[in-house]
Structure 1
Amino acid sequence: MKHLKKLTALFLAAALALSMSACGGASSAPASGSASAGDGARRLTMLVPNNTNQYIKFDEREDYPVWQELKALFAQKGLELEFEVVPADQYPTTLQTRIASGTDLPDIVCLTPFDDAAAMDLANKGTIQPINTIMDEYGDGTFNRFIHEKYPFMAQLTTAPDGNIYWYTSVQAQTYEDKPAPTCRVINIRKDWLEKLGLEAPETAEEFISVMKAFQENDMNGNGAADEIVTVDTSGDFFMTGIAQWFGVGNYLTSVDVKNNKIVSPWYQDGIKDYLKYMNRLVEEGLMDPDLIGATYEQTSQRMAENKVGATFDYCMQMWLEPSVNAENVEFLPIANLETGYEPYIVIEPSFFSWQKWAVTKDCKDPEAVAALLDVLYSDRYEELSAWGIEGETYEVVDGRRQLMEGIGGAYWEQNAKDRKTPGGSLWSGCVFPTVSLYTMESQFTSRPEHKNEFQKSVVFQDAVYPDAKYCYMAIATDEQNARKAALTTDLSTYSSELVTDFILGRASFDDWDQYIAQMQELGLDELIEIEQSQYDKFLELSK
Structure 2
Amino acid sequence: MRRKMSGFAAVFIIPALFAIALAACTGGESTRSTGSTSEEQDSTEQTEPLTKITYWVELFPDAAAIMKSYGEVTAWKEIQAKTGVQIEFQHPAQGQLGEQFNLMVASNKLPDVVEYGWNSYPGGARKAIRDKKIIPLNDYLDNAPNLKKLLEDHPEWRKMMSTDDGDIIGFPFIREDVTQQVFLGPAIRKDWLDKLNLAVPTTIDEWYTVLKAFKEQDPNGNGAADEIPILIPAGELAFAGAFGTPNDFYQENNTVKYGPIEPGFKEYLATMNQWYKEGLLDKDFATTDSKMKDAKITGNQVGSTVLFLNGGIGKYMDLMAQSQPEFQIVGTPYPTLNPGAKPVFGYLDNSVTGIFAAVTGSNKNVVGTVKFLDDLYSEEGKLIMNFGKEGETYTLVDGQPKYTDAVLKNPDGLPISQAFRKHIMGATSGPFVQDVRHTEQYTTKPEQKEAMELWSAPAHEKRMPPVSIAVEDSSRYASIMTDINTYKDEMILKFIIGAEPLDKFDEYVKALKGLGIEEALLIQQAGLERYNNR
SS of aligned partner of 1:477: coil
Residues 339/253 of structure 1: CA separation in 2 closer, same or farther (3 Å cut): closer
Q: Give the conservation status (yes or no) of the 8 Å contact 1:409–1:422.
A: no
Q: Which residue of 2 aligns with 1:345?
A: 344
Which piece of structure 1 moves more, 119-128 or 395-404? 395-404
Post-superposition Cα deviations, 1:336-377, rounded to whole Å, max 9, x if no partner, equal: 243535964340415623222333332221112311222123
Q: Which residue of 1 aligns with 2:302?
A: 309
Residues 266/508 of structure 1: CA separation in 2 closer, same or farther (3 Å cut): same
Amino acid aligned to 2:315: W
Amino acid aligned to 2:496: I
Q: Which residue of 1 aligns with 2:93?
A: 87
Q: Give the conservation status (yes or no) of the 8 Å contact 1:182–1:349.
A: yes
1:51 and 2:47 are equivalent in the alignment: no
Following TM superposition, by how much is the alpha carbon of 1:436 offset from its aligned partner in structure 2, in angstroms?
A: 2.3
Q: Give the conservation status (yes or no) of the 8 Å contact 2:186–2:307.
A: yes
Post-superposition Cα deviations, 1:19-48, rounded to whole Å, max 9, x if no partner, equal: xxxxxxxxxxxxxxxxxxxx9652211222
Q: 1:292 and 1:454 mapped to 2: Cα distance?
A: 27
SS of aligned partner of 1:286: coil
Q: 2:315 and 2:410 mapped to 1: Cα distance?
A: 6
Q: 2:518 aligns with which of 500, 511, 526?
A: 526
Q: 2:264 and 2:385 mapped to 1: Cα distance?
A: 42
Q: 1:282 and 1:418 mapped to 2: Cα distance?
A: 37
Q: 2:419 and 2:258 mapped to 1: Cα distance?
A: 48
Q: Give the conservation status (yes or no) of the 8 Å contact 1:187–1:311.
A: yes
Amino acid aligned to 2:303: G
1:264-275 matches, cutoff 5 A: 264-275=257-268
Q: 2:118 and 2:443 mapped to 1: Cα distance?
A: 35
Q: 1:421 and 1:90 mapped to 2: Cα distance?
A: 20
Following TM superposition, by how much is the alpha carbon of 1:280 offset from its aligned partner in structure 2, in angstroms?
A: 1.0
Q: Give the conservation status (yes or no) of the 8 Å contact 2:56–2:113.
A: yes
Q: 2:119 and 2:458 mapped to 1: Cα distance?
A: 33
Q: How many pairs were matched up?
A: 485
Q: 1:458 and 1:51 mapped to 2: Cα distance?
A: 28
Q: Which residue of 1 aligns with 2:425?
A: 425
Q: Which residue of 1 aligns with 2:37?
A: none
Unaligned stretches of 5+ in structure 2? Answer: 12-47
Post-superposition Cα deviations, 1:38-77, rounded to whole Å, max 9, x if no partner, equal: x9652211222223225984448777654443224433xx
Q: 1:159 aligns with which of 159, 162, 185?
A: 162
Q: 2:103 aligns with which of 90, 97, 103?
A: 97
Post-superposition Cα deviations, 1:470-519, rounded to whole Å, max 9, x if no partner, equal: 4xx13433212323321321111112111111110112223222222111
Q: Which residue of 1 aligns with 2:289?
A: 296
**% identical aligned pairs:** 24
1:504 and 2:496 are equivalent in the alignment: yes
- The root-mean-square deviation of aligned C-alpha atoms, in Å, is 4.0
1:111-130 matches, cutoff 5 A: 111-112=116-117, 115-116=120-121, 117-130=123-136
Residues 58/296 of structure 1: CA separation in 2 closer, same or farther (3 Å cut): same
More strand by share: 1
Q: 2:238 aligns with which of 242, 260, 265?
A: 242
Unaligned stretches of 5+ in structure 1? Answer: 1-10, 18-38
1:107 and 2:104 are equivalent in the alignment: no
Residues 174/95 of structure 1: CA separation in 2 closer, same or farther (3 Å cut): same
Amino acid aligned to 2:460: A
SS of aligned partner of 2:274: helix
Q: Which residue of 1 aligns with 2:414?
A: 414
Following TM superposition, by how much is the alpha carbon of 1:446 offset from its aligned partner in structure 2, in angstroms?
A: 7.4
Q: Give the conservation status (yes or no) of the 8 Å contact 1:247–1:341.
A: no
Q: Give the conservation status (yes or no) of the 8 Å contact 2:74–2:424.
A: no
Q: Give the conservation status (yes or no) of the 8 Å contact 2:162–2:168.
A: yes
**Which protein has the larger Cα radius of gyration, Structure 1 or Structure 2?**
2
Q: 2:308 and 2:87 mapped to 1: Cα distance?
A: 35
Q: Give the conservation status (yes or no) of the 8 Å contact 1:205–1:339.
A: yes
SS of aligned partner of 2:297: helix
Q: 1:65 and 1:337 mapped to 2: Cα distance?
A: 38
Amino acid aligned to 1:183: V
Residues 244/324 of structure 1: CA separation in 2 closer, same or farther (3 Å cut): farther
Residues 479/55 of structure 1: CA separation in 2 closer, same or farther (3 Å cut): closer
Post-superposition Cα deviations, 1:212-249, rounded to whole Å, max 9, x if no partner, equal: 23334343345554232255553xxx433411122222
Q: 1:261 and 1:324 mapped to 2: Cα distance?
A: 45
Normalising by structure 1, report the TM-score: 0.76
Amino acid aligned to 1:170: F
Amino acid aligned to 2:305: T
SS of aligned partner of 1:369: helix
Q: Which residue of 1 aligns with 2:31?
A: none
Amino acid aligned to 1:122: A
Q: Give the conservation status (yes or no) of the 8 Å contact 2:175–2:435.
A: yes
Normalising by structure 2, report the TM-score: 0.77
More helix by share: 2
Following TM superposition, by how much is the alpha carbon of 1:170 offset from its aligned partner in structure 2, in angstroms?
A: 1.6
Post-superposition Cα deviations, 1:275-322, rounded to whole Å, max 9, x if no partner, equal: 111111221112222322154333323322322221011246752332
Q: 2:530 and 2:52 mapped to 1: Cα distance?
A: 38
SS of aligned partner of 1:255: strand
Q: Give the conservation status (yes or no) of the 8 Å contact 2:72–2:422.
A: no
Residues 233/481 of structure 1: CA separation in 2 closer, same or farther (3 Å cut): farther
